[in-house]
Amino acid sequence: MKTWLFLLLFLSGSPFIFSQDCRVLTDSLKGTYSGGCKNGLADGEGTATGTDRYTGHFKKGVPYGSGRYTWKNGDWYEGEWKDGKPDGPGTRSRKNNNGKEQPEILTGFFKDGEYRGKYEKPYEMEMLTNNFTSISIKKMNNLVPEISLVVKNTTAGGSTFKMPMLPKSQLRDIQLIEGNYTELVSDTSSKITNRYVIRHIRFPFRAVFTFERDQSAQQLAQARIELNEEGNWMIKVDVEQ
């Protein structure tokens, strides 16, 4: 009877029969394994225990999908995995090195094993009108949390027979969606660009920026800009003329 039961399980292709013969390729998880198996490698739901421990989804011998990893010192990560590394939304708990009893908790998004921040994308931008040449956004190394905004257009500073100095595009309005600021400083001394500094910002900062193309209410350009992470940001706006 036992022989027939073994043959029946073998023919059914159950992925759990040879769990102990399934290999886990992550060095820190090599030891014991129970769970799904495919082509001799851990695949599907399972638990692997070596110097560390992981319970969750595997693919081709490594953590892939959702799972919880616990290091031997008690640190842990729970969330999404890709190719054996934290990748996607998740939470990491690790002991503080500054003597505090409470662990450091990082919740947000991970990429290739590294914590990237609370949000998947540090910033997002959408042009609401089609009269921009380009908009570039960059997070600077400066630790002062403010936004530097440079606005120009393709013809600013030039001249025509009727107009000796063509007008510059300028910031007209900031319509807040989320966050806040208390100071806006402008510098219009350049012949080509208008510069603005937005200070005392509460992040995340999301707003619709409106620009005047040629000092005419009929010639407006609008873009939605979202800055999800606190920091020093440089935004360069080039408006078509």
* Mean pLDDT computed over 87-116: 87
Length of the chain: 241
Of the candidates 81, 116, 151, which is a domain's last residue?
Answer: 116
Assess whether 58 and 129 both reside in one domain: no
Within-domain flag for 174: yes
* Cα(122)–Cα(233) distance, integer angstroms: 11
Assess whether 11 and 97 both reside in one domain: yes
Assess whether 45 and 80 both reside in one domain: yes
What integer best gives the mean pLDDT of the chain? 86
Within-domain flag for 149: yes
Smallest Cα–Cα separation from 227: which of 179, 163, 164, 188? 179
Within-domain flag for 1: no
CB contact set of 210 (below 8 Å; sequence gap of 6+)? 171, 172, 173, 174, 175, 220, 221, 222
* Cα(236)–Cα(46) distance, integer angstroms: 49
Assess whether 27 and 110 both reside in one domain: yes
Assess whether 135 and 231 both reside in one domain: yes
Tokens of 26: 């992550």
Within-domain flag for 158: yes
* Cα(198)–Cα(201) distance, integer angstroms: 7
Distance, CA of 194 to chain centre: 30
Of the candidates 75, 97, 116, which is a domain's last residue?
Answer: 116
pLDDT at 2: 46
The per-residue pLDDT for range 34-48, each reduced to its tens digit, is 999 999 999 999 999
Assess whether 214 and 177 both reside in one domain: yes
Looking at the predicted structure, is the pLDDT value of residue 137 above 90? Answer: yes
Tokens of 12: 């059914």
pLDDT at 219: 77
- 137 vs 101, higher pLDDT: 137
* Mean pLDDT computed over 143-153: 94
Q: For the chain, how many structural domains are there in total? A: 2
Q: Which domain range does residue 33 map to?
A: 7-116
Confidence band, pLDDT 50/70/90 cuts, at residue 121? confident
Within-domain flag for 206: yes
CB contact set of 122 (below 8 Å; sequence gap of 6+)? 139, 227, 228, 229, 231
pLDDT at 162: 46
Three-state SS string over 161-215 comes to: CCCCCCCCCEEEEEEEEEEECCEEEEECCCCCEEEEEEECCEEEEEEEEEEECCC
Assess whether 106 and 134 both reside in one domain: no
The per-residue pLDDT for range 13-26, each reduced to its tens digit, is 444 444 458 999 99
pLDDT at 185: 98
Smallest Cα–Cα separation from 171: which of 198, 143, 144? 198
Read off the pTM.
0.61
Of the candidates 66, 89, 116, which is a domain's last residue?
Answer: 116
* Cα(207)–Cα(225) distance, integer angstroms: 6
Within-domain flag for 2: no
